[in-house]
Structure formats: structure tokens, C-alpha cells
A and B are shown apart, each in its own frame.
Chain A
Amino acid sequence: MAQTAAEDLKLIVFQLKDKEYAIPVNQVRSIEKVEHITRVPRTAGFVKGVINLRGVVTPIISLRSRFNLEEAEYSDHSRVIIAVLDDMEVGLIVDSANDVIDVAIESIEPPPEVIGSEEADFIKGVTKIEKRLFILINLEKVLNPDELAIQDGQGIAG
């Protein structure tokens, strides 16, 4: 019993453009609606700014822009997933987030090579349930602070 429970992974499902992505529930603190974002100047392009999250100033990044997808206007469905990694709390803007699924760990496969381009770096694996394909994102890569610095430098130079 305990073993099967341990091998199950709870994932939060969110949408970007036309794909469905997933992030382990233990990396998520909360899901918020998009409210006023204060732009922080001279940061990487995907950093949208900071919000007031119940008294804590929390940085927000756009996953669309992080994955090199075209930006979209925020809609009523847009959400901010507050993700936690080590001692960092960062909000990820997604098109919508409305599902939680359980998957068995062994059903997660490594990312297929063909999935392509930059996005592939941020993918930990994929899993299929019925006809739906979920892309598991690699939060460590998405929030890699080194990349933040490089992008930052480019921003200033350009």
C-alpha cells in the first residue's frame, strides 16, 4: 500500500498555448489570479516583475516567454502558479491551470528528442493519460539563476 502511494506522483496541470504541462504538487505553494504586476526594469525579458503576495514581494516570470512561445494577453483564465524551489519563491504565469492528476512514476518517460528547440531543456519527461500528453517541466532549469544573469547582461548591452 505504502509503496504504491509513494510511486504515485500528484501533478498540477496547466496550459501554455496548445500544450498541457505539469508540475509536481509539492513544488507549488499556491495558484493565484493575475493581478497588478510591478515591472522590474533591466531584468531578463521573461521576468515580468514582482507582485504583492500577501505581504511578500514575489517575482513573476512568464513561462510563455521562458519557453520562447509568443506572448499572449492575460485572460480571465490566466493564472500565476507560485512555485517553490529551495528558498526561492517564484510565480509562473500560465494560460490556465485547472487540473490535478495522479500518475505512476514509472509512466513518466524521458522527453522525446524530436520535441525540439529551447523548450526541450526545460522538460523533465512526458506522461500520457488516455489521449492527453503532459509535459513535466524541470523547475530547476526554469528558475536557473545563472541564465537570469546572462539574459540580464544581454539586456543591458542591447
Chain B
Amino acid sequence: MEMNQYLEVFIEESKEHLQACNEQLLELEKNPEDIKIVNEIFRSAHTLKGMSATMGYEDLANLTHQMENVLDAIRNQKIKVNAEILDVVFLAVDDLEAMVQSIAEGGDGKRDVTEAVEKLMLIEKGESPAQSEARAETAAALAEPHPAIKSTYDDFELTVIQQSKEQGFESYEISIALRADCSLKAARVYMVFEVLEKCGEVIKATPSVEQLEEEQFDQEFSVTIVSKETADDIRQKLLKVSEVEKIEVLPLSLGDYSYQESVKEEEEAAQPVAEETPKTASNMPKEEKKSSAAKQVSNKTIRVNIERLDILMNLFEELVIDRGRLEQISRELNNQELHETVEHMSRISGDLQNIILNMRMVPIETVFNRFPRMVRQLARDLNKKINLEIVGAETELDRTVIDEIGDPLVHLIRNALDHGVETPEVRNANGKSDEGNVILKAYHSGNHVFIEIEDDGAGINKEKVIKKALKNGIITEQTASALTDKQAYELIFASGFSTADKISDVSGRGVGLDVVKNTIESLGGSVSIDSKAGQGSIFSIQLPLTLSIISVMLIEIEKEKYAIPLSSIIETAIIRKEDILRAHNQKVIDFRGKVVPLLSLKEIFNVPSENQVDEFISVVIVRKGEKMAGLVVDSFIGQQEVVLKSLGNYLTNVFAISGATILGDGQVALIVDCNALIK
């Protein structure tokens, strides 16, 4: 239907308003006395109500309306803000979010909201008589909402109004009330429209003409027309239609000057005609005008379907493969002109690559947004006081990473709240302020994005961790004694590990952290822990900026080519055969003062070989966290940007292979997963 084109906008804006509600509610909780914040929430809720009513989502509108009533009461200082009230409002917002989500997924946005509505009504009622008065008032307002300007106009309608004004037409918004005992409302509507169409041109009706014809309105409706006749003439003509009880004709003036003035003007103009003074000439229309103006300024962006970006990315990946091929040909042919052209093309496609990757970047804000709410709820569930600080929410990450990173972060934050931050009593006893601090920080560094979750809680108890790990058979007594602090902390990422004394709802099922680690590693990232007993812990996650194009070092073993991600390479070296030492059964080398184990890729990958041993051995030194290993290869080919491809759904979990890529000559090279090689 016609609505479809607005649906996307509606969903987007609803989400924005709900997000605003969430944020402001959290603010309000901190400053319960600040009426300004209530006003902000009220405005968001009000806009949401208007929008959802227009789009025909009644449940959504109803609940928002109820919420608005409560907010209104708070605003008029009839209700005092407390945690219980906010809980209910949060609950309502949750419901609203669920409904918007359902609409976004193609549902009808219906939901049983009686619980939330009842609670909201209780809050409203649970107050002084003054409150019930306010209720009556709002109820009245419901019966005839906004006696002043009822309709909001879209850009097109505004343009029509403005243009007709330039041509000497006046615009009026006419409110028509039919008598309560009117039996054939549709017929009256028809007659009213006939009269109006003779006077001028109808540009808008609220409710819509279809709804009016189907009698889907109470007693009142409003029509906007442009006409050359005066307000009074129109009014007189309309009163001739029988069973019409009341006519209000408000001239609309939407000039270049701000809407606020126009509203005032309308009010003045309305005075002689209108029987009632518009009592709720709300600040909403002007707010709308303002926001639409703001939109125009920032409207240098366009929405692009993410699918198209994916297609663009795929096409570009093909181009990268051909680029590799061209580079290879140009090297082989050794023609100066070809060299230059190819080099130029490589540079341009490099720029293009940056732009395309940038287009897919999304601020991590989209993930961080939901955390304040979550933290608040958790803190209440756990009876802890927690202050969440978010730094660097504007940091951008590839969309594919963003999609995956949410759940691991939820786990880590839950973990910090549950196991990290102590209860206020314990904190006080330890000489800390009873409010725990959790800092969520994101920043770029080099080709990576770092996300840190820092708490000032109890820190990790090394003894406890080791004891638990021993009990669960994750480590042996022998290894336990040799563990460094860091290694001991890493143990909490082992599967089947949970140090919480009690298993709580929040975390502590022992399934969380190993999943976190796996997810992050599958994204090509890593996670590490730093902790000081009694002072808190920092979990830091390192992620690649993008997943689809990576820099690799190509190496050769016999006739097979493999790619090793540059991100795990420390350096390459050529060593003499005599320099290889033996420790137990392991070949090692002395690399810059460190003993590094040597792994033969030929053996690991069972490469068929003729077994000739050279005097010199090529080694790629790779790392995983603090640990290093030397991979013995036959020769280095060089560094290249390649497109990461999966091996498909058939070959999953191939040992030490994280994917594949297509080289310039069209052959497939496998990408070595160094994380799997280093234990």
C-alpha cells in the first residue's frame, strides 16, 4: 500500500525515539528532579504516539499514550520519580521496542500490552485526587486531541500550502464535530466534503478520507483545504450541513518564518472563530518543524541497502584477484609501460578498497547503545551500584564484525558486573566508594580496533582460578605451579570453567567466556586479561578492521602455496641448519634471546616431499598472544592483499586452515591459522 514507503522511515524514527527514551530515562534516574529530561522523554513519546497512530499501529499508540500520561503527571509534579515507576516505564519501553521490532520484521506490531498499560494506570491512579483530575483532563484530551493544529504535514503538503499562499490562496485547517446522535456519519462527511470542494481544494484529511468514509472516527475530524474564501464564509457554508455541531476554521500560515510564530498567529486568528481556546497548543508541531529542518541540513547522506554494498564488495574482491594476476603478469613480462600502468591501477584500486571498506563501517555505538539499559537492570538484579562509562562509541568497525561482536560483549559486561564489581557492603569494607565503575572503551590503533571492558572490582583471584582449574581437570598440578599471573587468568576462558561461588542467573554457568574467546578468535581477533587483586580487571579485545580482505605472506612448501596472515607474523628469518637446537623432542631456535619452537609445515600438512635438506632454512616467526613459534617453509613468495574465502559448508573445521584465497593465477591457496598451531 501507500504506507509502505513510509514504513521504513517510521521504523527508523521509532527506533531513534525509543533509543532517546532509553537514554533520557537513564539520565532521569540520575537526576530525578530534572523536569527538562522528562520533557525530552515526553516529546519522544509524543512523536512516537503520533507516528504510530498515523501508521495504524494501535497497540503501539495506546501504550505510548499511557506512558505519556504518566510522564505528564511527572512533569506536572503530580508523581515523584522513583525506581519503581521507572521500572514500569522501562518495561513499557521494552514492550514498545518489541512492537517496533515486530513491525520491522514484517509483523503487524500487535502485542499484549495490558500488563504494562495496567501498571502505568496504577501509577497514575496511585496518587492524590489532583492526579485523577489530571486523568480526566487527559481523557478529555483523548476525546478531542489537540484542539489547535491537529494534523502534521509532510513536506509535500507543506509545499502545496506554501505555493497556494503565494498564489493568493489561504490555507485552513477545519475541525468538524458531528452531533453525537448523528446516524449517517459517512453521509455527513460526504456532504461536508462536497461543500469544501466547492470552496477550494482539500489537501488533507485526518483521519484519512477512506477512514472517514468507513465511519472510522468518533465525532470529530479535520480537513485542510486551500481556498480563496474567508474563514467565516467557509464556516457559514459548513454549518448549513445538518447534524454538524461545531466548526472550527483555523487559517494556516506556513511562511518562511518559524512555525512557532505561525502557531501563535493561528491561535490569535482562531480566537474569534473558535469557541474554545486551544489549550494544548503543544510544542510538538514546532519541534517537528525544527527536526525536519535539522534533517535537511544533515541530508547529505543516502540510505543504501546493505545487500548492494555486499555485492559491491564481492565485485571488488574479484577485482582484487585480477589485480594480483595483473601484477604477476607484469612482473613476468618486465615491460616498463605495463609496470607503470599496473602500478597506477593498483594504487587506485587500493584507494577504492579503502572507500568501499569505509562505506561498510558502522560506529560501534549501535552495539554499545543497549548496554546502559542492560547494566542498569543487572545492577538492580544483583543489588549492586554500578556506573557505566562509555568511551569511543563513535569508533567504526566493519559491519560483519559489528554483527558478531554484540554477544561476546554482553557476556564480558555481565561477567564484569557479576564477578568483577563487589556488592556495596564489600566495597565499603574495602575502602572503596559503594558505586562500582565499569568503563567500556573502544579505539582504533593501527589496523585494529580495541575494545576494553574495565572494572574497578575485586580483580581475579589467581589462587581460586587455579584451584578451580585443577578441580575441573583443565590443568595439572605440575603446570599449575609454573603459571604466570596472565596464564592463570587465561584459564577462565577455558571451557567448563566457572569461579562464581554461587551459580547466578547473570553469569556463572561456565559456558560464557570460552564462547567469547572462540567468537573473537573466529573473527580474527584476540582477547586478553589484565587484573590486579582488589583493584579490578581489564578485558581487552583486539579485532581486525575488516574481515574480507587481508594482507598475507605467501609461502611455498614443495609445490604447494600457503598464505600466512601478516597480523600473526612477527618476522621472517633464514637460519643455518646448525642453529637448530633440540629441547626434549622439540626442535627449537634461539631467536633474539628467546627459545622458539620450530614447526615444520611440511610435516604438519603432510606435504609429499623429496626430503632434501638445505643448508639454510626459511622460517616465519608467528605469534599467538605472547607465545611464538617458527614455521619452517621452503621459500617465501611475498606479501599480498588477498580476499578471504571460506572453504564452503562441506569442509568445516579443517585443522590449522582458516580459509582460502584465490591467487592471481586462478589457483586456490589455503590460509594458515597460526592460532591453531600454537598451543
With A38-B667, A41-B606, A52-B668 in contact, do A57 and B648 touch (Cβ < 8 Å)? yes
Question: Interface centre among A50, A90, A156, by most B CB within 10 Å?
Answer: A50
Give Cα A109 to B645, complex, Å: 42
Q: Which of B604, B666, B670 contacts A40 (CB 8 A)?
A: B670
Show 29 residue pairs from A and B whose CB-CB distance is below 8 angstroms, ordered by the A residue. Answer: A38-B660, A38-B668, A38-B669, A39-B560, A40-B651, A40-B654, A41-B605, A41-B606, A41-B670, A42-B605, A42-B656, A43-B654, A50-B651, A52-B662, A52-B666, A55-B662, A58-B648, A59-B647, A59-B648, A59-B650, A88-B648, A88-B649, A88-B650, A89-B648, A89-B649, A90-B648, A90-B650, A148-B650, A148-B651
Residues of chain B with a CB closer than 8 A to A156's CB: 655
Query: Which A134-158 residues sit within 8 Å CB-CB of chain B?
Result: 143, 145, 148-149, 152, 156
Give Cα A5 to B657, complex, Å: 46
Instruction: Verify if A130 is at the interface (C-beta below 8 Å from B).
Output: no
Instruction: Verify if B572 is at the interface (C-beta below 8 Å from A).
Output: no
Residues of chain A with a CB closer than 8 A to B669's CB: 38
Instruction: Verify if A25 is at the interface (C-beta below 8 Å from B).
Output: no
Query: Which B285-342 residues sit within 8 Å CB-CB of chain A?
Result: 317-318, 321
Give Cα A56 to B604, complex, Å: 26
Give Cα A42 to B666, complex, Å: 23
> In the complex, which range does the number of interface residues on chain B fall in?
20 to 34
Closest residue of chain B to A58 (Cβ to Cβ) is: B648
Question: Interface centre among B321, B652, B657, B668, by most A CB within 10 Å?
Answer: B668
A38-80 CB contact bits vs B (8 Å, 1 = yes)? 1111110001011110011111000000000000000000000
Instruction: Verify if A132 is at the interface (C-beta below 8 Å from B).
Output: no
B604 touches A41 (CB 8 A): yes
B630-667 CB contact bits vs A (8 Å, 1 = yes)? 00000000000000011111111111110010100011
Residues of chain B with a CB closer than 8 A to A88's CB: 648-650
Give Cα A79 to B652, complex, Å: 24
Instruction: Verify if A19 is at the interface (C-beta below 8 Å from B).
Output: no
Q: Is the interface of B mostly helix, strand, loop or mixed?
A: loop
Tell me, rounded to whole Å, the shortest Cβ–Cβ distance linking B668 to chain A.
Answer: 4
Instruction: Verify if B607 is at the interface (C-beta below 8 Å from A).
Output: yes
B651 touches A59 (CB 8 A): yes
Tell me, rounded to whole Å, the shortest Cβ–Cβ distance linking A140 to chain B.
Answer: 13
Residues of chain A with a CB closer than 8 A to B654's CB: 40-43
B667 touches A47 (CB 8 A): no
Tell me, rounded to whole Å, the shortest Cβ–Cβ distance linking B241 to chain A.
Answer: 62
Residues of chain B with a CB closer than 8 A to A47's CB: 651
Give Cα A57 to B605, complex, Å: 19
Q: Which of B318, B606, B662 contacts A42 (CB 8 A)?
A: B606
Residues of chain B with a CB closer than 8 A to A58's CB: 648
Instruction: Verify if A87 is at the interface (C-beta below 8 Å from B).
Output: yes
Residues of chain A with a CB closer than 8 A to B667's CB: 36, 38, 52
Residues of chain A with a CB closer than 8 A to B560's CB: 38-39
Residues of chain A with a CB closer than 8 A to B655's CB: 41-42, 156
Q: Which of A36, A41, A152 contacts B657 (CB 8 A)?
A: A41
A50 touches B668 (CB 8 A): yes
Closest residue of chain A to B657 (Cβ to Cβ) is: A40
Give Cα A56 to B645, complex, Å: 8
Tell me, rounded to whole Å, the shortest Cβ–Cβ distance linking A90 to chain B.
Answer: 5
A145 touches B318 (CB 8 A): no
With A38-B560, A40-B670, A41-B657 in contact, do A57 and B649 touch (Cβ < 8 Å)? no
